[in-house]
């Protein structure tokens, strides 16, 4: 009688792991399909438009069904926030990411994307959303991790090195492939693609920082916020495409790889992943979810070598190792920060009792801060990193 209980308990505990591993395969598929579509001649401006049109069509009905009650008023400041979020995410981030993906490779693009937690930390410090305490080990870990991550990105950008041959790559594909041609692999295009990917990641981190403020209004209507950002982003992307692409033929799309790439990215990456990753973050926390991101890079490297005959260079391998090391250093610092703040929350009731006995009301603002943190994160955070914590929770709102 105990064995079924043990099995059910194991399966229940394993659900978050299976979910995150499945999501990494989903993200990897998006990168592979997008690379094939872009190399096939599809404009990345048009791909962004169709992707977010699909995402809006999928997310908006759920927002209407589950969040139609007590919708926040869209005042002018709220509209400006939504407009800027759409500009940073669907327009700047996605266009630069797809452009960088076209000039480099899926594995390289995934590796650069792992810089996101470090870049978000830097932007939070710049905008005084997180205070640095150099005497704390957790803060030192985040600073060192950020420096190592940047070093890895610079190494990948400035040094390619010799080709690293996969064991199976010599036998499973012909010399000509989707991913390799004389112009796409030139050093000039590779450097240009690297810069595009870094700009995309900066825009992505800026989006998360700004989401902190938007979520104060939409704290109970996150599906609505996501659908609004995707819808406004689609309109902005259409305007950008009209400016950058002057041929009407670029809009043509049939039942081919281009349609599959746009639909897959919009439905799987920007819609289904929102729900699944949201559940995982709610149960296990944002650090757990982010820790799986290097797995996507490994999956893409393997699939890319099979499907695209992608060439992997030594500089990319060494840079990826540094970026992953830096990523986990930053995540370790965030984890220690979360543990400290949970312990701090448990001590608050005693402090309140002491204040009540002494007749002081100084603890009242602290209670308000804690309640605000619980609303934003659901995991406890201090004033030093309240906004950044909310930022980490909502990495799922505009997934790549």
Segment 45-65 mean pLDDT:
94
List the single range of 71-75, 228-232, 340-344 with lowest mean pLDDT.
Answer: 340-344
At residue 176, the pLDDT reads 46
Distance CA(206)–CA(202), nearest Å, equals 6
Q: What percent of the chain has pLDDT over 90?
A: 33
At residue 1, the pLDDT reads 46
Asked if residue 209 lies in contact with residue 387, where contact means CB atoms within 8 angstroms, the answer is: yes
At residue 360, the pLDDT reads 38
Q: Which residues contact 344 (CB under 8 A, 6 or more apart)?
A: 380, 382
* pLDDT over threshold 70, residue 392: no
Asked if residue 129 lies in contact with residue 388, where contact means CB atoms within 8 angstroms, the answer is: yes
Segment 18-27 mean pLDDT:
90
3-state secondary structure (DSSP) of residue 164 = strand
Segment 39-53 mean pLDDT:
94
- Give the model confidence (pLDDT) of 294-332 as tens digits: 888 889 988 888 888 888 888 889 999 999 999 999 888
Distance CA(211)–CA(356), nearest Å, equals 37
Residue found by looking up tokens 């305007």 in the block: 239
pLDDT confidence of 349, banded at 50, 70, 90? low
**Best CA proximity match to 394, nearest among 204, 126, 131, 132:** 204
Q: Which residue has the higher pLDDT, 347 or 332?
A: 332
pLDDT confidence of 218, banded at 50, 70, 90? confident
* pLDDT over threshold 80, residue 186: no
Q: Which residue has the higher pLDDT, 300 or 335?
A: 300
Q: Where are the alpha helices (DSSP H) in 304-378?
A: 314-358, 364-376
**Best CA proximity match to 121, nearest among 140, 142, 147:** 142
Distance CA(135)–CA(225), nearest Å, equals 38
Tell me the CB-side half-sphere exposure of residue 184, using CA atoms within 13 A. 21
* pLDDT over threshold 90, residue 381: no
- pTM score above 0.75: yes
At residue 324, the pLDDT reads 92
Segment 143-171 mean pLDDT:
82
Q: How does DSSP assign 84-146, residue by residue? A: HHHIIIIIIIHHHHHHHHHHS-HHHHHHHHTTHHHHHHHHHHHTTSS---TTSHHHHHHHHHH
pLDDT confidence of 399, banded at 50, 70, 90? low
Q: Which residue has the higher pLDDT, 37 or 130?
A: 37
Distance CA(337)–CA(375), nearest Å, equals 18
* pLDDT over threshold 80, residue 350: no
Buried residues in 215-225 as b, exposed as e (16+ CB within 10 A): bebbeebbbbb
> Residue 243 has which token pair?
């400016």
- Give the model confidence (pLDDT) of 101-121 as tens digits: 999 989 999 999 888 888 888
DSSP 393: H
Q: Which residue has the higher pLDDT, 8 or 159?
A: 159
At residue 241, the pLDDT reads 96
Asked if residue 274 lies in contact with residue 39, where contact means CB atoms within 8 angstroms, the answer is: no
At residue 211, the pLDDT reads 80
3-state secondary structure (DSSP) of residue 26 = helix
List the single range of 11-20, 25-34, 60-69, 339-348 with lowest mean pLDDT.
Answer: 339-348
At residue 254, the pLDDT reads 85
């Amino acid at each position: 009688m105990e064995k079924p209980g043990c099995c059910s308990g194991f399966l229940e505990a394993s659900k978050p792991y299976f979910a995150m591993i499945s999501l990494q395969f989903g993200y990897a598929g998006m990168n592979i399909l997008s690379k094939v579509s872009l190399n096939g001649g599809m404009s990345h401006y048009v791909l962004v438009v169709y992707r977010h049109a699909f995402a809006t069509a999928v997310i908006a009905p759920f927002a209407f069904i589950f969040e139609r009650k007590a919708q926040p008023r869209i005042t002018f400041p709220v509209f400006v926030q939504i407009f800027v979020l759409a500009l940073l995410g669907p327009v700047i981030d996605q266009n630069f990411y797809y452009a960088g993906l076209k000039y480099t490779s899926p594995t390289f693009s995934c590796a650069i994307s792992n810089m996101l937690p470090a870049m978000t930390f830097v932007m939070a410090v710049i905008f005084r959303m997180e205070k640095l305490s150099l005497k704390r080990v957790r803060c030192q870990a985040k600073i060192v991790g950020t420096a190592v991550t940047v070093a890895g990105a610079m190494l990948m950008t400035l040094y390619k090195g010799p080709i690293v041959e996969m064991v199976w790559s010599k036998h499973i594909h012909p010399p000509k492939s989707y991913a390799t041609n004389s112009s796409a692999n030139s050093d000039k295009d590779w450097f240009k693609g690297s810069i595009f990917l870094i700009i995309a990641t900066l825009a992505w981190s800026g989006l998360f920082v700004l989401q902190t403020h938007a979520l104060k209004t939409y704290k109970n209507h996150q599906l609505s916020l996501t659908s609004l950002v995707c819808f406004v982003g689609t309109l902005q992307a259409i305007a950008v495409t009209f400016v950058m692409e002057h041929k009407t033929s670029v809009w043509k799309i049939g039942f081919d790889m281009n349609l599959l790439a746009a639909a897959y990215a919009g439905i799987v990456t920007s819609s289904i992943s929102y729900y699944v990753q949201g559940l995982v973050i709610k149960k296990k926390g944002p650090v757990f979810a982010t820790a799986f991101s290097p797995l996507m890079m490994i999956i893409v490297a393997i699939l890319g070598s099979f499907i695209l005959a992608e060439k992997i260079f030594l500089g990319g391998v060494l840079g990826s190792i540094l970026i992953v090391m830096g990523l986990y250093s930053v995540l370790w610092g965030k984890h220690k920060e979360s543990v400290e703040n949970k312990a701090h929350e448990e001590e608050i009731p005693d402090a309140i009792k002491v204040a009540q006995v002494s007749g002081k009301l100084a603890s009242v603002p602290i209670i308000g801060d804690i309640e605000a943190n619980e609303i934003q994160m659901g995991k406890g955070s201090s004033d030093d990193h309240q906004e950044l914590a909310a930022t980490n929770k909502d990495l799922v709102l505009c997934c790549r």
